[in-house]
Amino acid sequence: MSNMKRVSLYLFIAASIAELTAQLFSLPEVRLVSKPILLPLLALYYFLTIRENKIPVSNVLLLALVFSWGGDVLLMGEGELFFIFGLVSFLVSHLLYIFTFRQFCLEEDSEALHGLQKLRFAFPIVLYGTGLVVILLPHLGDMTTPVIVYALVLSLMALNALFRFKRTSPGSFTLVFAGAILFMISDSILAINKFLEPVAQGGFWIMSTYIAAQFLIVQGLISHDRSK
Protein backbone atom coordinates (compact mmCIF):
# COMPACT_ATOMS: atom_id res chain seq x y z
CA MET A 1 0.00 0.00 0.00
CA SER A 2 1.42 3.37 -1.03
CA ASN A 3 1.96 6.06 1.58
CA MET A 4 -0.65 8.39 0.10
CA LYS A 5 -3.24 5.63 -0.06
CA ARG A 6 -2.50 4.63 3.53
CA VAL A 7 -2.76 8.24 4.70
CA SER A 8 -6.11 8.75 2.92
CA LEU A 9 -7.50 5.59 4.56
CA TYR A 10 -6.24 6.57 8.02
CA LEU A 11 -7.69 10.07 7.62
CA PHE A 12 -11.05 8.58 6.61
CA ILE A 13 -11.00 6.34 9.69
CA ALA A 14 -10.04 9.30 11.90
CA ALA A 15 -12.82 11.46 10.43
CA SER A 16 -15.29 8.59 10.97
CA ILE A 17 -14.27 8.22 14.61
CA ALA A 18 -14.52 11.99 15.10
CA GLU A 19 -17.99 12.07 13.51
CA LEU A 20 -19.32 9.19 15.63
CA THR A 21 -17.79 10.66 18.78
CA ALA A 22 -19.41 14.01 17.98
CA GLN A 23 -22.75 12.24 17.53
CA LEU A 24 -22.46 10.43 20.85
CA PHE A 25 -21.42 13.47 22.87
CA SER A 26 -23.29 16.21 20.97
CA LEU A 27 -20.30 18.14 19.66
CA PRO A 28 -21.70 20.21 16.75
CA GLU A 29 -18.44 22.11 16.26
CA VAL A 30 -16.62 18.83 15.54
CA ARG A 31 -19.34 17.71 13.13
CA LEU A 32 -18.90 20.91 11.10
CA VAL A 33 -15.51 19.48 10.12
CA SER A 34 -15.85 15.70 10.42
CA LYS A 35 -18.99 15.11 8.36
CA PRO A 36 -18.14 17.18 5.25
CA ILE A 37 -14.69 15.56 4.86
CA LEU A 38 -15.82 11.92 5.09
CA LEU A 39 -16.79 11.39 1.45
CA PRO A 40 -13.94 13.42 -0.11
CA LEU A 41 -11.47 11.28 1.87
CA LEU A 42 -13.23 8.08 0.78
CA ALA A 43 -13.20 9.27 -2.85
CA LEU A 44 -9.47 10.02 -2.54
CA TYR A 45 -8.85 6.54 -1.10
CA TYR A 46 -10.76 5.01 -4.03
CA PHE A 47 -8.87 7.08 -6.62
CA LEU A 48 -5.44 6.30 -5.15
CA THR A 49 -6.24 2.59 -4.85
CA ILE A 50 -7.46 2.36 -8.44
CA ARG A 51 -4.42 4.24 -9.69
CA GLU A 52 -2.15 1.90 -7.71
CA ASN A 53 -3.92 -1.16 -9.15
CA LYS A 54 -3.66 0.28 -12.68
CA ILE A 55 -7.34 -0.23 -13.53
CA PRO A 56 -9.78 2.35 -14.99
CA VAL A 57 -11.38 4.85 -12.63
CA SER A 58 -15.18 4.78 -12.55
CA ASN A 59 -16.36 8.36 -13.04
CA VAL A 60 -19.91 7.23 -12.27
CA LEU A 61 -18.81 5.97 -8.85
CA LEU A 62 -16.96 9.22 -8.17
CA LEU A 63 -20.12 11.14 -9.12
CA ALA A 64 -22.15 8.96 -6.74
CA LEU A 65 -19.75 9.90 -3.95
CA VAL A 66 -19.98 13.59 -4.93
CA PHE A 67 -23.79 13.56 -4.70
CA SER A 68 -23.62 11.62 -1.42
CA TRP A 69 -21.29 14.33 -0.13
CA GLY A 70 -23.81 16.93 -1.28
CA GLY A 71 -26.52 15.11 0.65
CA ASP A 72 -24.31 15.00 3.75
CA VAL A 73 -23.71 18.74 3.64
CA LEU A 74 -27.31 19.68 2.85
CA LEU A 75 -28.71 17.54 5.66
CA MET A 76 -26.57 19.50 8.08
CA GLY A 77 -28.76 22.54 7.36
CA GLU A 78 -31.84 23.45 9.35
CA GLY A 79 -35.33 23.42 7.87
CA GLU A 80 -37.45 21.46 5.41
CA LEU A 81 -35.81 22.92 2.31
CA PHE A 82 -32.38 21.59 3.27
CA PHE A 83 -33.93 18.17 3.94
CA ILE A 84 -35.64 18.09 0.54
CA PHE A 85 -32.49 19.10 -1.35
CA GLY A 86 -30.49 16.57 0.69
CA LEU A 87 -33.03 13.90 -0.23
CA VAL A 88 -32.73 14.80 -3.92
CA SER A 89 -28.93 14.68 -3.74
CA PHE A 90 -28.99 11.21 -2.21
CA LEU A 91 -31.64 10.14 -4.72
CA VAL A 92 -29.26 11.03 -7.55
CA SER A 93 -26.46 9.24 -5.69
CA HIS A 94 -28.52 6.03 -5.50
CA LEU A 95 -29.33 6.23 -9.21
CA LEU A 96 -25.61 6.58 -9.93
CA TYR A 97 -24.88 3.60 -7.67
CA ILE A 98 -27.37 1.55 -9.69
CA PHE A 99 -25.44 2.37 -12.88
CA THR A 100 -22.16 1.69 -11.08
CA PHE A 101 -23.27 -1.75 -9.88
CA ARG A 102 -24.23 -2.62 -13.45
CA GLN A 103 -20.87 -1.33 -14.65
CA PHE A 104 -19.04 -3.54 -12.14
CA CYS A 105 -20.86 -6.67 -13.26
CA LEU A 106 -19.90 -9.51 -15.60
CA GLU A 107 -22.13 -11.20 -18.16
CA GLU A 108 -24.68 -13.56 -16.64
CA ASP A 109 -23.74 -17.22 -16.35
CA SER A 110 -25.64 -20.34 -15.34
CA GLU A 111 -25.00 -19.73 -11.60
CA ALA A 112 -26.31 -16.14 -11.58
CA LEU A 113 -29.82 -15.35 -10.38
CA HIS A 114 -32.50 -15.89 -13.01
CA GLY A 115 -36.28 -15.54 -13.28
CA LEU A 116 -38.04 -16.86 -10.19
CA GLN A 117 -34.75 -16.92 -8.29
CA LYS A 118 -34.48 -13.15 -8.70
CA LEU A 119 -38.04 -12.70 -7.47
CA ARG A 120 -37.53 -14.97 -4.47
CA PHE A 121 -34.33 -13.28 -3.31
CA ALA A 122 -35.66 -9.81 -4.10
CA PHE A 123 -38.83 -10.33 -2.06
CA PRO A 124 -37.35 -9.55 1.41
CA ILE A 125 -35.86 -6.27 0.15
CA VAL A 126 -39.12 -5.23 -1.54
CA LEU A 127 -41.10 -6.25 1.55
CA TYR A 128 -38.80 -4.27 3.84
CA GLY A 129 -38.95 -1.12 1.70
CA THR A 130 -42.72 -1.36 1.26
CA GLY A 131 -43.34 -2.09 4.93
CA LEU A 132 -41.33 0.92 6.05
CA VAL A 133 -43.26 3.25 3.72
CA VAL A 134 -46.59 1.82 4.94
CA ILE A 135 -45.58 2.45 8.57
CA LEU A 136 -44.45 6.01 7.81
CA LEU A 137 -47.28 6.91 5.42
CA PRO A 138 -49.70 8.47 7.97
CA HIS A 139 -46.91 10.76 9.21
CA LEU A 140 -45.42 11.98 5.92
CA GLY A 141 -47.84 14.76 4.95
CA ASP A 142 -46.47 16.82 2.04
CA MET A 143 -43.39 14.57 1.93
CA THR A 144 -45.41 11.49 0.92
CA THR A 145 -44.50 11.46 -2.79
CA PRO A 146 -40.79 12.35 -2.36
CA VAL A 147 -40.34 9.68 0.34
CA ILE A 148 -42.11 7.00 -1.73
CA VAL A 149 -39.95 7.81 -4.77
CA TYR A 150 -36.82 7.79 -2.62
CA ALA A 151 -37.75 4.45 -1.02
CA LEU A 152 -38.33 2.96 -4.48
CA VAL A 153 -34.94 4.08 -5.79
CA LEU A 154 -33.21 2.98 -2.57
CA SER A 155 -34.76 -0.48 -2.90
CA LEU A 156 -33.71 -0.65 -6.58
CA MET A 157 -30.15 0.20 -5.53
CA ALA A 158 -30.13 -2.71 -3.05
CA LEU A 159 -31.68 -5.03 -5.67
CA ASN A 160 -28.99 -4.16 -8.19
CA ALA A 161 -26.38 -4.99 -5.56
CA LEU A 162 -28.15 -8.34 -5.03
CA PHE A 163 -28.27 -9.10 -8.75
CA ARG A 164 -24.45 -9.00 -8.91
CA PHE A 165 -24.51 -12.48 -7.30
CA LYS A 166 -22.18 -14.79 -9.25
CA ARG A 167 -21.49 -11.94 -11.67
CA THR A 168 -18.45 -10.69 -9.77
CA SER A 169 -15.96 -12.10 -7.29
CA PRO A 170 -17.50 -13.42 -4.04
CA GLY A 171 -15.71 -10.79 -1.95
CA SER A 172 -16.93 -7.94 -4.14
CA PHE A 173 -20.52 -9.19 -4.07
CA THR A 174 -20.53 -9.63 -0.28
CA LEU A 175 -19.05 -6.20 0.47
CA VAL A 176 -21.26 -4.28 -1.95
CA PHE A 177 -24.45 -6.09 -0.95
CA ALA A 178 -23.70 -5.62 2.76
CA GLY A 179 -23.08 -1.92 2.07
CA ALA A 180 -26.37 -1.57 0.19
CA ILE A 181 -28.32 -3.21 3.04
CA LEU A 182 -26.60 -0.96 5.61
CA PHE A 183 -27.55 2.03 3.45
CA MET A 184 -31.18 0.94 3.65
CA ILE A 185 -30.90 0.54 7.42
CA SER A 186 -29.28 3.97 7.81
CA ASP A 187 -31.97 5.70 5.76
CA SER A 188 -34.67 3.77 7.63
CA ILE A 189 -33.39 5.00 10.99
CA LEU A 190 -33.22 8.55 9.60
CA ALA A 191 -36.82 8.34 8.33
CA ILE A 192 -38.16 6.86 11.58
CA ASN A 193 -36.25 9.46 13.58
CA LYS A 194 -37.65 12.32 11.48
CA PHE A 195 -41.21 11.26 10.74
CA LEU A 196 -42.27 8.70 13.35
CA GLU A 197 -40.51 9.04 16.70
CA PRO A 198 -37.05 9.94 18.04
CA VAL A 199 -34.59 7.05 18.03
CA ALA A 200 -32.26 6.82 21.03
CA GLN A 201 -28.81 7.97 19.83
CA GLY A 202 -30.36 8.18 16.36
CA GLY A 203 -27.59 10.32 14.90
CA PHE A 204 -24.93 7.81 15.97
CA TRP A 205 -26.76 4.84 14.44
CA ILE A 206 -27.57 6.73 11.26
CA MET A 207 -23.97 7.76 10.72
CA SER A 208 -22.34 4.50 11.84
CA THR A 209 -24.40 2.45 9.39
CA TYR A 210 -23.99 5.11 6.69
CA ILE A 211 -20.20 5.32 7.00
CA ALA A 212 -19.91 1.53 6.98
CA ALA A 213 -22.23 1.36 3.95
CA GLN A 214 -20.22 3.81 1.88
CA PHE A 215 -16.89 2.20 2.75
CA LEU A 216 -18.11 -1.35 2.05
CA ILE A 217 -19.57 -0.34 -1.31
CA VAL A 218 -16.36 1.40 -2.39
CA GLN A 219 -14.13 -1.41 -1.10
CA GLY A 220 -16.36 -3.98 -2.76
CA LEU A 221 -16.18 -2.23 -6.12
CA ILE A 222 -12.40 -1.97 -5.78
CA SER A 223 -12.41 -5.76 -5.23
CA HIS A 224 -14.41 -6.48 -8.41
CA ASP A 225 -12.63 -9.15 -10.44
CA ARG A 226 -13.10 -8.41 -14.11
CA SER A 227 -11.54 -11.76 -15.09
CA LYS A 228 -13.84 -13.98 -12.99
CA–chain centroid gap for 97, Å, is 8
Q: Dump pLDDT digits (tens) for 41-66.
A: 999 999 999 998 888 899 999 999 99
Q: Dump pLDDT digits (tens) for 171-189.
A: 999 999 999 999 999 999 9
228 domain residue, yes or no: no
Sign of CA dihedral 113, 117, 123, 126: positive
CB of 17 within 8 A of CB of 38?
Answer: no
pTM comes to 0.95
The total domain count for the chain is 1
29 domain residue, yes or no: yes
185 domain residue, yes or no: yes
What is the pLDDT averaged over residues 89-104?
Answer: 97
pLDDT grade for 115, boundaries at 50, 70 and 90: confident
Enumerate residues 6+ apart whose C-beta is below 8 A from 103. Answer: 58, 60, 61
Residue-averaged pLDDT of the chain: 94
What is the pLDDT averaged over residues 75-84?
Answer: 94
Percent residues over pLDDT 70 in the chain: 97
CA–chain centroid gap for 111, Å, is 27
17 domain residue, yes or no: yes
227 domain residue, yes or no: no
Domain that holds residue 197: 3-222
Q: Dump pLDDT digits (tens) for 129-166.
A: 999 999 999 999 999 999 999 999 999 999 999 999 98
Q: What angle do CA 56, 57, 60 make, to 5 degrees?
A: 125
